[in-house]
């Protein structure tokens, strides 16, 4: 029971039945938001290889793009999950004329790392290839992720200029024009997680063994391993009272970025736990909007 509770808390949102409903979050977004749903991005029939594209009511040519990566301990949840408690922020992003692409990816119970980052890059490759159809600008991409999705968002942004063949499904490197990363309480260094010796913890499922047992795999899957001076700017949020992924993880990432000369800001949210509406208040929403406007050059 305790392990089940841990998994539920780690995923970044309370249990829900979103997967059984027809787009359960569209009503949270601005009137007139248009959505292209359940698009296959990997040329296969896997349910976890699907994405949704949300377009502002006033669609402009060459809109910047925000790729949204959901949380869930790499083992649960879907592309609706975090929108469910971040509606204020996601709505404001759409109102800025930024398209939002929310993706699903394979769980660690289906495929071990690096399958998850391969899926993220495949989804981005699809967006770049089909950008003209949806009036998207592939030269202005930002990444946002929550919890396990924050880990993947950070890894996607940081490894992009490292050009790691194993991170691409076909082994063919495709660099992307990633201008900014927004990371909400994502793990950044897997061996220093609280359960890093537990072979049944989510991070052990991700790697196939616990991070302490396989520090080589943990290093390859840890965002801090890929920090260099050429990385995109980061905006990082973490809860003061997060007991699932302690804010030491974000402090560590922030410090690596800072000493490498990468523009970054870390916001420790007072009294906040691992996830929830405390991250969706106007003050933090406005921070996100200013950050995206600055780095996606919205006029």
DSSP string, 65-81: EEEEE--STTTS--TTT
Phi, psi of 132 (to 5 degrees): -65, -40
In the 8-state DSSP scheme, what is residue 55? Answer: E
Q: Does domain 2-12+29-295 have CATH number 3.65.10.10?
A: no
Percentage of the chain with pLDDT > 90? 90
Q: Considering only residues 25 and 19, tell me which one the structure prediction assigns the higher pLDDT.
A: 25
Pairing of strands 99-103, 50-55: antiparallel
pLDDT in tens, 68-124: 999 999 999 999 999 999 999 999 999 999 999 999 999 999 999 999 999 999 999
CA 82/CA 149 separation, integer angstroms: 10
Q: pLDDT at position 100, please?
A: 98
User: pLDDT tens across 223-270, in order?
Assistant: 999 999 999 999 999 999 999 999 999 999 999 999 999 999 999 999
For the beta sheet containing 178-184, the strands, ordered from the edge strand earlier in sequence to the opposite edge, are 34-40, 50-55, 99-103, 63-69, 136-146, 178-184, 234-239, 264-269
pLDDT at 22: 86
Is the confidence at residue 125, as pLDDT, over 60? yes
pTM: 0.93
Helix axes 282-295, 87-95, angle to 10 degrees: 40
pLDDT value at residue 192: 97
């Amino acid at each position: 029971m305790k392990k089940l509770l841990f998994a539920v808390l780690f995923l970044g949102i309370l249990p829900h039945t979103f997967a059984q409903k027809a787009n359960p979050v569209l009503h949270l977004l601005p009137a007139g938001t248009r959505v292209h749903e359940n698009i296959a991005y990997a040329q296969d029939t896997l349910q976890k290889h699907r994405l949704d594209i949300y377009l502002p009511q006033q669609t402009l040519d060459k809109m910047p793009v925000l790729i949204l990566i959901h949380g869930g301990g790499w083992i649960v949840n879907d592309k609706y999950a975090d929108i469910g408690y971040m509606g204020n922020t996601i709505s404001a992003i759409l109102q800025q004329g930024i398209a939002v692409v929310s993706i699903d990816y394979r769980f660690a119970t289906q495929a071990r790392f690096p399958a998850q980052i391969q899926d993220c890059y495949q989804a981005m490759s699809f967006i770049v290839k089909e950008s003209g159809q949806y009036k998207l600008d592939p030269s202005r991409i930002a990444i946002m992720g929550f919890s396990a999705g924050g880990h993947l968002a950070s890894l996607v942004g940081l490894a992009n200029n490292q050009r790691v063949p194993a991170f691409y499904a076909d082994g063919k490197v495709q660099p992307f024009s990633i201008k900014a990363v927004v990371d909400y309480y994502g793990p950044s260094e897997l061996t220093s997680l609280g359960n890093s010796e537990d072979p049944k913890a989510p991070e052990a499922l991700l790697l196939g063994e616990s991070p302490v047992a396989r520090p080589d795999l943990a290093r390859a899957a840890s965002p801090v391993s890929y920090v260099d001076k050429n990385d995109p700017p980061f905006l990082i949020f973490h809860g003061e009272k997060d007991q699932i992924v302690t804010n030491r993880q974000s402090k560590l990432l922030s410090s690596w970025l800072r000493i490498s000369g990468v523009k970054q800001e870390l916001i420790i949210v007072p009294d906040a736990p691992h996830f929830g509406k405390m991250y969706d208040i106007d003050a933090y929403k406005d921070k996100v909007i200013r950050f995206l406007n600055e780095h996606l050059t919205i006029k």
